[in-house]
Structure 1
Amino acid sequence: MHHQIVTEYWSKPLAEWAAWMRTAKRAPGTIYQHTYRVGRLAERHPRRSPWTITLDDLVEHLNASEVAPSTQRAARTSIRSFYSWAVAVGRLERSPAALLPPVRVERGRPRPAPDEVTTIARFHRDRRIPLMVELGYRAGLRCCEICRVHADDVERTIDGYALRVLGKGRKLRVVPIESDLAASVLERAEGGWCFPGRIDGHLSASYVSKLISTALPERVTAHQLRHRFGTRAYQLGGKDIRAVQELLGHASIATTQVYTLPADDAVRRAALAAA
């Protein structure tokens, strides 16, 4: 993400909106993403107040760059949230974003990371990275969750070890993990953060993503580790989509349904078997 320069017309409203979201206990990552997306609109109209923006301006902004439909949908969500707040607190009588059309996003396909990623990562010279990869690959954690793993998050249950994960929207979930992974977390954390940093005591999600990418093959992303976990959890765990939804921390089961589709390699095997 590039460094934003927001003029005085927008800086105070954005700061007030961010404070309102903090009061509502929105997650720091959510607040950052929302304000960043509306900040892109602010950069397009630096000499105008946000209260003078029209529906036509918003439509033009959303269509101004070639981005993925999911990115455009996220921008629409943030803009609608900003102007809904403005109406709620009396800055506007009516939201210019209320009539923005929904953005259609095609249902995705699972893109699980290849099995060899853990072998590759195991020999990385930065000894933090193998564990980061394991947490994505074997526990399905997002980068924003990996960066916040703490020794206190590991718990012993009657069935074995589990990891308490504070996910998007500050929703807590419990992910069962194997004893060797639990031991690795506890050994590295030494009673504190697993990946300590200078901001908030732990590394940032973006830096964790950057570190993981140095250990992955070309065109394989950190998020594909989570895809691998979700796909295998569905295929090998009795095809219980509700259980996979809980493990991944998805608010909507529609998001989890991506993992019910056969992976590309499974489709290829089926096609070759039928040939």
Structure 2
Amino acid sequence: MALPLSASWTDALDDYALDLRAANRTPATIRARREQLQHLARRIGVGPWEVTADALLIFVGSQEWMQETRRNRYACFREFWRWGKRTGRIKHNPAKRLPRVNASAPNPDPVPEHVYVESMRRADDRTSLIMRLAHDAGLRRGEIAQIHSDDLRPDLLGWSLLVHGKGRKLRIVPLTPRLALDLRALPEGFAFPGAIDGHLSPRRVYELVDDVMPNPWTLHNLRHSFATNAHEASNGDVLTLRNLMGHASADTTGRYVRLSDARGRSVVYAAAGLAPPERPAAHLVAV
């Protein structure tokens, strides 16, 4: 059962957020850390500096989290109590005994084309534009939320978008003519105005898409679609795709790409000295 947030937790989270801001962490990261710790605080039953290693293990063991969610929460808890120990608020870090959680195995899962088309039909203009920015440009929800008219850039070949990525990293992503036209047609300012920092929150961006897409498909799966389609269209140019998606490592990019049946069959045929089979003229990726 969720409990009210105690004064000791409120003070601790305010001080921790101040430390994160001083370390130049992004507002999205600070907001996410606060939400993760608030979820714990309302269920653990004691203040932040009374939490024991055993109590924390009992709490995390009772949560039915997905593997990546669990991995992310553990990282948050370790960082929070390391800060508490460093600043003299606690003598022993209760998160030190949390087990290591390996990254989940790659499971690229692009949205089937018919699901995307049907979802677009159910979406209003704002939500369909959000979906296209993920499907056709590979943007994350936090990057979509922050799009501003000042981020549109003309060049010799068309229009591109200055994307505000994770960790304040910037990158340029070329836009399709239709995406560029629709973004330029919006009023000046944020493309998706909202109450938080002047634009929609990343969570709200996610929720809008979740309302029109059937389970288990999400906005993040549309980013998988972009990666898979772009990889196929570029004949496997992972380095270009890595830059477009804002990844530090090509290994991370590879986790988003589902190799098409046609590509795998072509490799097998080539190894046997045979000509590759003719490919259908339909959508680039059969999912």
The aligned amino acid for 1:114 is P
TM-score w.r.t. the length of structure 2 is 0.82
8 A contact 1:121–1:133 mirrored in 2 = no
The aligned amino acid for 1:247 is L
**Equivalent in 166, 169, 173 of residue 168 of structure 1:** 166
The residue number in structure 2 matching 1:202 is 199
**Equivalent in 134, 151, 171 of residue 153 of structure 1:** 151
**Equivalent in 246, 249, 258 of residue 255 of structure 2:** 258
8 A contact 2:224–2:257 mirrored in 1 = no
1:91/1:135 CA distance change after superposition, 3 Å: same
For residues 29 and 3 of structure 1, the distance between their equivalents in structure 2, rounded to whole angstroms, comes to 24
8 A contact 1:234–1:259 mirrored in 2 = no
The residue number in structure 2 matching 1:59 is 57
TM-score w.r.t. the length of structure 1 is 0.86
The residue matched to 1:259 in structure 2 has which SS?
A: coil
Shift of 1:136: 0.8
Percent identical? 34
8 A contact 2:2–2:42 mirrored in 1 = no
Q: CA RMSD in A?
A: 2.7
Alignment of structure 1 residues 30-69 onto 2, 5 Å: 30-46=29-45, 48-69=46-67
The aligned amino acid for 1:96 is P
**Is residue 244 of structure 2 the alignment partner of residue 247 of structure 1?**
yes
1:202/1:235 CA distance change after superposition, 3 Å: same
1:164/1:117 CA distance change after superposition, 3 Å: farther
The residue number in structure 2 matching 1:102 is 100
The aligned amino acid for 2:36 is R
How many residue pairs get matched?
A: 267
Alignment of structure 1 residues 1-275 onto 2, 5 Å: 5-46=4-45, 48-117=46-115, 119-124=117-122, 126-188=124-186, 190-262=187-259, 266=261
1:118/1:257 CA distance change after superposition, 3 Å: closer
The structure having more radius of gyration, on CA atoms, is 2
Instruction: Flag structure 1 segments of 5+ consecutive residues without an equivalent.
Output: none
The residue matched to 2:174 in structure 1 has which SS?
A: strand
8 A contact 1:121–1:129 mirrored in 2 = no
1:154/1:118 CA distance change after superposition, 3 Å: farther
Shift of 1:227: 0.7
Shift of 1:191: 1.9
